Chain A
Amino acid sequence: MSATLEAKVPSGPLAERWSKHKFDLALVNPSNRRKFKVLVVGTGLAGGSAAASLAEMGYEVLAFCIQDSPRRAHSIAAQGGINAAKNYKNDGDSVFRLFYDTVKGGDYRAREANVHRLAEVSNQIIDQCVAQGVPFAREYGGLLDNRSFGGAQVARTFYARGQTGQQLLLGAYGAMLRQAASGRLTLLPRREMLDVVVVDGMARGIVTRDLVTGAYERWAGHAVLLCTGGYGNVFYLSTNAKTSNVTAAWRAHKRGAFFANPCFTQIHPTCIPVSGHYQSKLTLMSESLRNDGRVWVPRTKGDSRPAAAIPDAERDYYLERKYPSFGNLVPRDVASRSAKDVCDEGHGVGATGQAVYLDFRDAIARDGAETIRARYGNLFEMYERITAEDPYRVPMRIYPAVHYTMGGLWVDYNLESTIPGLFVLGEANFSDHGANRLGASALMQGLADGYFIVPATIASHLAGRRLAPVDTGHAAFAESHEASRARHARLLGVRGSRTVDSFHRELGRICWNQCGMARSAGGLRDAIEKVRALREAYWQDVRIPGEPNSLNPELEHAGRVADFLEFAELMARDALERNESCGGHFREEHQTADGEARRDDARFCHVAAWEWTGEGEPAERHREELAFEAVSLSTRSYR
């Protein structure tokens, strides 16, 4: 194990570590904070909450986002809710239970101390959001309502209809605007980060491109926060927004930040299936539908009769058959793999055969159409709008889709990467969800990192290290600036015969087929070869119109796809080296006789953190061993 992977987890009893750590951390005197400039990249829940909180404390903050407004970051699309250990329902919840559920749900591949801290600050997040005016659902008595979510046996999820992410983001955005009005925070929308500038071994700035004018810009500061989300769009089709990308994280990786567990990707089981090759994104249907919908496929392969014409005896309710105790409510990874299995065996439905039925016939017969409408009306309407089919009359067709990425840049307990002064928050880091994320935990983590953790831990860098004055005239800025400009010039200069999208789609197919829901050593090795060949072809044959000095969405996309083409190889290598199945990572060689995932705690109870070693050189794999003290390792079973 490398000495560089020092997780800095404090010692002592688990429940006291965060308090102790906060006391032990250095502090920056309030009157000195204005002397420090912090660059925050990304304004979703993690970046927005961090930018606002740091500015409130008195730091000078620059907040960059790729969208035309910070309030449009993809956190806005989160539907379900946000977990907290309030125990308002008096149903036995506690900080320890939230911690325990999250570690177990992550299939024992997360860092215990980080997850416990997450559970500890969860309650303060809800307090903060309510005070900002987030209109959470309430009961008639005026107090907050909760609902239950997968992977938990208590009701701890706070929600604002199906728009929880939107409402939380508007809260964080409002807090940012207030600081912008105070002059401590500057908002810089329509900016894409193209490089981290490292001076004397520390992150001291970034290079961005103004997406409207095309200008390359240099920004110096005392610390850089990457809050740039996940890399699900490496699969081309995902539930992510179109601009979601790996570029900021990947450029930081190439400057020295280790990338941890890139093979831990989450495939959500209930999405609207692909309808044609022009498809540009996939739409999630809330997990809650599995409370009343029954999942099935025809018993006979290739049975093309309409669903209603297939009698019960000729239907295979495969989740109820395989998992009688959990039935249709098995966790996301199990439900997704089962759908893939039945479709691979030829039982899939619809024009593509890549779909299974989610049928509400029995629920409607039992509870009445009005009850079902009250529960899921908006989801049924959304489904009908996209597919032109009425789910009250014909079963929904669903298929799994890439939704979230647990892997990300490696960070220590302070959320600092292996580049001193570079902090990574939210989905962009790897720390809290292990190999599988539970529902309603992403919003919790983003806001925990931004409101409560980084505002405390950033002082370890700002007050704990000597930071020499650096300005944008430094040679390291000139080098990053020129490298970013030259890369775009090279892309524009190819003038080949294929569009950026055609390469991105092909990359997505390789990743989905060979590094998606089921992976094998042979398939992964082949995928690595294919990705290398595609990358080669990309730089020979991509065609990008226009100029760099104006709004040029094709050029923006081209830069991101170039990074995905490099990142995909690392993701496949990580999947290849992790010779076990756990959470969202399923290796066909490592399963039980019943087809269930088989973890290998003796050999793989660790974080794999990859170090960039240069162009054309294989990345080096480092390990952070995971020690479980409060939770004992066990096998998940849902039968």
Chain B
Amino acid sequence: MSAAHAGGDMKVTLHVWRQARAAAEGAFETYGLAVSPDMSFLEMLDVLNEELVLDGRDPVAFDHDCREGICGTCSLVIDGQPHGPHRETTTCQLHMRSFRDGDSITVEPFRAAAFPVVKDLVVDRSAFDRVLAAGGYVSVNTGSAPDANAVPVARERAERAMDAAACIGCGACVAACKNAAAMLFVGAKVSHLALLPQGAPERGRRVLAMVERMDAEGFGNCTNESECEAACPKGIGVDNIARLNREYLRAALTGGD
């Protein structure tokens, strides 16, 4: 990689996980790269890939889309941390100025049994969709809703529901957890609807079905270490896990409603 091409004035060494497909063996490959501190981390990978293509080598596959921290598509474990070193920052919003000239950086996919590798740094997170499909919604047909102001919701309650609803479904919580538990994700989704009157009629049924599905997908159990909260790019708190446990217990004791 020529410095002129990258416009870069710092050099980094990348150790990137390469894996041709789900069933293949994976291994780290090492690349040297000149970068600009103003590049985003994903732009750095773009530059690497253009260089690999021109060299006749296979570019690194990674997931990304909006590149502004909201779609939840980007992932990566960077030097052991999901989404890299900064709190409440997705990989797409991480910039190379967070690293120093001469740094070695290790880049891996999110690792969890429930998130199998598709290729290189791309993993399959469809388990999250299946957990939500088990009941993460309000059953209301189009056209049947009452006036939007018919049911008042206390401002504080609406704000707490929004705190939970801010989850972008990226899966960093699972990647950060030594048990690969999805309880922060499921807790956030359950909390969002449990806190609102619109979610009340299906409150019990929802949490039982979602937890059952979560277990079936192979996610582990929570052992209260809060690594998920530390890794969450949207600052979702472990209070949502506490609420998930309460909701589950309540529903289990009352038979689901």
- With both chains docked as a complex, state the minimum distance between the C-beta of B120 and any C-beta of chain A, in angstroms: 9
Q: Is A376 an interface residue, CB under 8 A from the partner?
A: no
Which of A277-292 touch B at CB < 8 Å? 277-281, 283-284
1/0 per position for B103-143, CB-CB distance to A under 8 A? 00000000000000011001011101100111011111111
With A68-B125, A69-B126, A180-B133 in contact, do A142 and B154 touch (Cβ < 8 Å)? yes
Stretch of A5-13, A133-141, A438-446 on the interface side: A133-141
With A124-B143, A166-B168, A241-B65 in contact, do A554 and B155 touch (Cβ < 8 Å)? no
With A77-B68, A131-B146 in contact, do A68 and B73 touch (Cβ < 8 Å)? yes
1/0 per position for A369-388, CB-CB distance to B under 8 A? 00000000000001001101
Which of A133-155 touch B at CB < 8 Å? 133, 135-144
- With both chains docked as a complex, state the minimum distance between the C-beta of A460 and any C-beta of chain B, in angstroms: 19
With A68-B125, A142-B154, A242-B67 in contact, do A280 and B143 touch (Cβ < 8 Å)? no
Interface contact A133-B192, CB-CB below 8 Å: yes
With A69-B169, A126-B148 in contact, do A74 and B65 touch (Cβ < 8 Å)? yes
Give complex CA distance A53, B145 in Å.
13
Stretch of B38-46, B179-187, B239-247 on the interface side: B38-46
Please name the residue on chain B nearest to A244 by beta carbon.
B65
Name the A residues within 8 Å of B227 (CB-CB). Answer: none
Name the A residues within 8 Å of B161 (CB-CB). Answer: 133, 135
Interface contact A280-B67, CB-CB below 8 Å: yes
With A135-B192, A177-B133 in contact, do A451 and B142 touch (Cβ < 8 Å)? yes
The listed residue (A49, A129, A545) touching B59 by CB distance below 8 A is: A545
Interface contact A163-B70, CB-CB below 8 Å: yes
Name the B residues within 8 Å of A136 (CB-CB). Answer: 148, 158
1/0 per position for A226-254, CB-CB distance to B under 8 A? 00000000000001011100000000000
Which of A519-558 touch B at CB < 8 Å? 543-546, 550-551, 553-554
Give complex CA distance A138, B199 in Å.
17
Name the B residues within 8 Å of A135 (CB-CB). Answer: 158-159, 161-162, 165, 192, 196
- With both chains docked as a complex, state the minimum distance between the C-beta of A638 and any C-beta of chain B, in angstroms: 29
Q: Is B223 an interface residue, CB under 8 A from the partner?
A: no
Q: Is A212 an interface residue, CB under 8 A from the partner?
A: yes
Interface contact B70-A77, CB-CB below 8 Å: yes
Give complex CA distance A455, B50 in Å.
45
Interface contact A551-B68, CB-CB below 8 Å: no
Stretch of B77-85, B89-97, B214-222, B249-257 on the interface side: B89-97
21 A-B pairs with CB atoms under 8 Å apart are A56-B141, A56-B142, A72-B72, A76-B70, A124-B143, A126-B148, A128-B140, A129-B148, A131-B138, A131-B140, A132-B140, A133-B198, A142-B152, A160-B165, A177-B129, A242-B66, A278-B43, A280-B42, A543-B54, A545-B52, A545-B53
What 8 A-B pairs have minimum CB-CB distances, sorted nearest first?
Answer: A142-B152, A174-B137, A131-B145, A127-B145, A135-B162, A53-B142, A130-B148, A177-B133
